[in-house]
């Protein structure tokens, strides 16, 4: 009980001394913390920006669907020297679509996609290079998304190869400036010179890695075939029930191999693309950034820590007599050690807090002035302060140890 | 019959290494101090009196011999035990006051009680009492640089007394004061002695030693005289008109 009370009294006294020392020499305190402030603020800013990127990226790839496989000839992400391998592969056609529709038990929805770029025109307005996509009524089920006005394609549109068209919002906005989506439904437009009727307008989807997703016009794939040719490569979007995407992949592999007559022992000539691949690539990129942030942070914390150590050594030197007096009045070595450790930790914590504030400010500024987003998590703030405090403790050990081991007689006599 | 002495120093030796040579700063010093005594340790610089003060103050440990204070065998103690002993048994008064400049008089006086682990309220009560006892009840919230030299030394004395130590150890307490203020401080010591405090006063001034009921003269690390202050002070010193110890017990 007595030792606890004594430890408590000494702890309170140490904080009081630290506070007095820090406020007594404000300029020095500020300059001492500067290294830590710069280090912590840099790391906090970088981390906040990366976390902001994470969030916006995750939002962007939502439309790809976490439970959807995209069956294609080539992977989304490939290295430069392999593209020819994929180009020579057999196209994916209606044959594979029918096979999957017929045989898959796991799939909840299958939609084909044929895509090209073409002209969409209305009166004098002519849009070049709109993404034109042929599909079926299953498109939204397999890919996600919804219509904001009118309807999506229906089965009869596909069976009868009707000239029905669902517009993305970018296309609508440019063809019918200022008109509400409901007013656009029913209008006639020309796709590659052929008349189509707008039956619906999609919800806005935003962009993926800078590519706009709303510059699109969707039609039945047989209608697409009549204009652009039926021999185009298809991509099949196949949706699995939640958590069953691996099952779906292992079920589809033999179905597709049979449909494409892949001989036993030969490798698959098709791939399953999925959202996860983007995530993986993205994580690799930001992983490197995180590594850099950690590296920068460590280096600046070490530099800041050395600054603190330096100032603490000066402080111990200046206060040699004070240390002698305290020892004469009954302070133990451990008391002096604690006093100086708390002081260096307090300087560093102050620097950490300041650095966190500056870092968050910089991140907000970057978010305001650039398209980058910034998000600060409480954990980042906590880490910033905790790490700087730890730095203060570690780099305070040597000065504190020196203070604690001063000879009281020498210290009292010191001028 | 006789009560055990408060301080018992026997054959105390302290060696220093200066380069290759060994210097005997203290060379077999022995004496006792009883409770309630006021003893001066006098000697010229280099006589070993500072070394003796450091040993008796438990700031340093002897090379040989033994030292007991209030039943504690100091020469066997660990560093932490020495710190605790300084805290409870000894009240230091230094020539240069040694107050913490950033702290108020009150905080300075409270400090020994902080290291004793007393609750804040009790600390404050005792510190206020100690300051009032040295006549500084109205200067408690001043910092040392707002006080005169005499007032600073009074604060230091209050700090030395606040923990109710068994020994008041004063090292040239008037050395940095003008003679009038020095006189006040010596009178204060006299009063404290009358109230029962045991005082060991280290000085190089025979004039001061002569005011103490008892004095020990050191020379070359040895005790060369131990007796009534006036007698010891006049030994080897140029004959002078020294005032007699008036207020001594």
More confident residue, A144 or A219: A219
Distance from CA of A394 to the nearest CA of B (A): 24
ipTM of the complex: 0.91
Kindly tell me if the per-residue pLDDT of B247 is higher than 60.
no
Does residue A195 sit in the same domain as residue A119? yes
Go through chain A and tell me how many residues it has: 415
Would you give the distance in Å from CA B211 to the centre of its chain?
Answer: 15
| Over residues B125-152, mean pLDDT | 94
For B21-55, write each residue's pLDDT tens digit.
888 999 999 999 999 999 999 999 889 999 999 99
Q: Which of B210, B151, B199, B203 is nearest to B172 (CA)?
A: B203
Does residue A89 sit in the same domain as residue A236? yes
Last residue of a domain, one of A240, A273, A306: A273
pLDDT at B25: 92
For A242-252, write each residue's pLDDT tens digit.
888 889 999 99
Last residue of a domain, one of A273, A302, A318: A273
Does residue A71 sit in the same domain as residue A197? yes
Q: Does A325 touch chain B (CB under 8 A)?
A: yes
Kindly tell me if the per-residue pLDDT of A221 is higher than 90.
yes
For B225-242, write each residue's pLDDT tens digit.
999 988 888 876 544 454
pLDDT at A204: 87
More confident residue, A368 or A255: A255
Kindly tell me if the per-residue pLDDT of B248 is higher than 50.
no
* Chain A residues touching B130 at Cβ < 8 A: none
Q: Which of A78-82, A181-185, B15-19 has the lowest mean pLDDT?
A: A78-82
Does residue A341 sit in the same domain as residue A404? yes
pLDDT at B167: 96
Dist CA B105 CA B99 (whole Å): 8
Token digits of residue A173: 């906005």
Q: Which of A52-66, A285-299, B11-25, B156-170 has the lowest mean pLDDT?
A: A52-66
CB contact under 8 A, A326 and B98: no
| Over residues A256-280, mean pLDDT | 87
| Over residues A265-283, mean pLDDT | 85
Dist CA A403 CA A397 (whole Å): 10
Does residue A54 sit in the same domain as residue A157? no
Identify whether the C-beta of residue A190 lies closer than 8 Å to the C-beta of residue A121.
yes
CB contact under 8 A, A322 and B112: no
User: Which class for B74: exposed (0-12), middle (13-18), buried (19 or more C-beta within 10 A)?
Assistant: buried
Please report which residue ranges of A269-377 form alpha helices under DSSP H. Answer: 275-318, 320-328, 333-369
Kindly tell me if the per-residue pLDDT of B123 is higher than 50.
yes
Kindly tell me if the per-residue pLDDT of A209 is higher than 70.
no
Q: pTM (2 decimals)? A: 0.73
Distance from CA of B49 to the nearest CA of A (A): 13
Q: How confident is the model at residue A210 (pLDDT cuts 50, 70, 90)?
A: low
Q: What percent of chain A has pLDDT over 90?
A: 47
Does residue A380 sit in the same domain as residue A305? yes
Size of interface A-B (CB pairs under 8 A): 77
**Cβ partners under 8 Å of residue B238, min gap 6:** none
Range of the domain at A289: 2-60+279-413
More confident residue, A279 or B63: B63
Q: Does A143 touch chain B (CB under 8 A)?
A: no
Q: What percent of chain A has pLDDT over 70?
A: 97
Does residue A124 sit in the same domain as residue A201? yes
Q: What percent of chain B has pLDDT over 90?
A: 80
Q: Does A410 touch chain B (CB under 8 A)?
A: no
Q: Does A333 touch chain B (CB under 8 A)?
A: yes
| Over residues A390-394, mean pLDDT | 93
Q: Which of A104-118, A157-171, A373-387, B112-126 has the lowest mean pLDDT?
A: A373-387
Does residue A352 sit in the same domain as residue A259? no
Last residue of a domain, one of A251, A273, A295: A273
pLDDT at A63: 66
Give the angle A349-A355-A360 at the CA atoms, nearest 5°: 130
For A53-71, write each residue's pLDDT tens digit.
787 777 777 666 778 889 9
For B205-227, write each residue's pLDDT tens digit.
998 999 999 999 999 999 999 99
According to CATH, the superfamily of the domain at B7-234 is P-loop containing nucleotide triphosphate hydrolases (3.40.50.300)
Specify the pairing of strand B90-93 against strand B167-171: parallel
Kindly tell me if the per-residue pLDDT of B1 is higher than 60.
no
Dist CA A152 CA A165 (whole Å): 9
| Over residues A26-33, mean pLDDT | 84
Does residue A247 sit in the same domain as residue A338? no
pLDDT at A198: 95
Q: How confident is the model at residue A11 (pLDDT cuts 50, 70, 90)?
A: confident
Q: How confident is the model at residue A31 (pLDDT cuts 50, 70, 90)?
A: confident
Q: Does A156 touch chain B (CB under 8 A)?
A: no
Report the SS3 class of residue A269: coil
For B59-105, write each residue's pLDDT tens digit.
999 999 999 999 999 988 999 999 999 999 999 999 999 999 989 99
Specify the pairing of strand B7-18 against strand B222-228: unpaired
More confident residue, A289 or A247: A247
Distance from CA of B115 to the nearest CA of A (A): 6
Does residue A225 sit in the same domain as residue A291? no
B219 φ, ψ (degrees, to nearest 5): -150, 130
Number of structural domains chain A divides into: 2
Dist CA A235 CA B33 (whole Å): 104
Does residue A32 sit in the same domain as residue A101? no
Does residue A120 sit in the same domain as residue A239? yes
CB atoms within 10 A of CB A93: 17
Which residue of B86, B115, B158, B176 to mutate against A (max A Cβ within 10 Å)?
Answer: B115
Q: Return mean pLDDT, chain A.
A: 88
């Amino acid at each position: 009980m007595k030792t606890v009370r004594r430890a408590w009294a000494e702890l309170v006294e140490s904080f009081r001394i630290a506070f007095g020392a820090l406020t007594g020499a404000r300029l020095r305190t500020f300059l001492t913390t500067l290294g830590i402030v710069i280090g912590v603020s840099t790391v906090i800013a970088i981390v906040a920006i990366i976390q902001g990127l994470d969030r916006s990226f995750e939002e962007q790839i939502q439309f790809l669907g976490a439970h959807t496989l995209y069956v294609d000839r080539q992977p989304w992400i490939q290295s430069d020297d392999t593209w020819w391998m994929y180009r020579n592969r057999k196209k994916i056609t209606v044959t594979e679509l029918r096979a999957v529709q017929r045989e898959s038990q796991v799939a909840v929805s299958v939609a084909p996609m044929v895509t090209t770029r073409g002209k969409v025109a209305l009166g004098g307005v002519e849009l070049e290079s709109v993404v034109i996509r042929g599909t079926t009524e299953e498109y939204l089920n397999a890919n996600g998304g919804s219509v904001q006005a009118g309807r999506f394609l229906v089965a009869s549109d596909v069976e009868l190869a009707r000239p029905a068209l669902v517009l993305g919002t970018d296309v609508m906005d440019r063809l019918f400036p200022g008109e509400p989506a409901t007013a656009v439904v029913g209008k006639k437009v020309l796709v590659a010179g052929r008349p189509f009727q707008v039956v619906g307008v999609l919800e806005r989807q935003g962009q993926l890695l800078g590519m706009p997703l709303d510059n699109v016009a969707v039609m039945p794939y047989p209608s697409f075939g009549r204009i652009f040719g039926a021999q185009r490569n298809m991509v099949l979007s196949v949706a699995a029930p939640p958590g069953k995407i691996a099952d779906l992949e292992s079920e589809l592999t033999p179905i597709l191999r049979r449909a494409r007559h892949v001989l036993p022992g030969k490798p698959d000539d098709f791939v399953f693309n999925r959202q996860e691949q983007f995530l993986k690539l993205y994580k690799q990129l930001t992983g490197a950034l995180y590594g850099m942030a950690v590296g920068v942070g460590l280096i600046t914390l070490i530099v800041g820590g050395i600054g603190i150590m330096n100032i603490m050594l000066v402080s111990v030197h200046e206060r040699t007599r004070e240390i002698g007096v305290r020892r004469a009045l009954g302070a133990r070595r451990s008391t002096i050690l604690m006093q100086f450790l708390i002081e260096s930790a307090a300087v560093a914590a102050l620097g950490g807090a300041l650095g966190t504030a500056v870092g968050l400010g910089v991140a907000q500024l970057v978010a305001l002035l650039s398209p980058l987003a910034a998000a600060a998590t409480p954990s980042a703030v906590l880490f910033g302060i905790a790490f700087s405090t730890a730095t203060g403790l570690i780099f305070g050990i040597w000065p504190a140890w020196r203070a604690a081991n001063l000879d009281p007689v020498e210290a009292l006599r010191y001028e | 019959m006789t009560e055990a002495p408060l301080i018992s120093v026997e054959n105390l030796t302290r060696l220093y290494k200066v380069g290759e040579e060994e210097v005997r700063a203290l060379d077999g010093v022995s004496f006792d101090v009883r409770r309630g005594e006021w003893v001066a340790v006098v000697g010229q610089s280099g006589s070993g009196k500072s070394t003796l003060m450091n040993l008796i103050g438990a700031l340093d440990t002897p090379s040989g011999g033994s030292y007991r204070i209030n039943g504690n065998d100091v020469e066997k103690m660990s560093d932490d035990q020495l710190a605790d002993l300084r805290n409870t048994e000894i009240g230091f008064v230094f020539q240069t006051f040694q107050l913490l400049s950033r702290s108020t008089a009150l905080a300075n006086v409270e400090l020994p009680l902080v290291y004793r682990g007393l609750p804040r309220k009790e600390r404050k009560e005792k510190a206020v009492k100690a300051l009032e006892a040295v006549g500084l009840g109205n200067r408690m919230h001043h910092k040392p640089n707002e006080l005169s030299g005499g007032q600073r030394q009074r604060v230091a004395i209050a700090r030395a007394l606040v923990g109710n130590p068994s020994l008041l150890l004063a090292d040239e307490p008037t050395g940095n004061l003008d003679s009038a203020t020095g006189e006040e401080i010596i009178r204060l010591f006299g009063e404290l002695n009358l109230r029962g405090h045991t005082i060991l006063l280290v000085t190089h001034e025979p004039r001061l030693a002569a005011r103490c009921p008892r004095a020990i003269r050191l020379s070359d690390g040895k005790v060369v005289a131990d007796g009534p202050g006036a007698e010891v002070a006049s030994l080897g010193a140029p004959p002078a008109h020294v005032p007699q110890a008036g207020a001594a017990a």
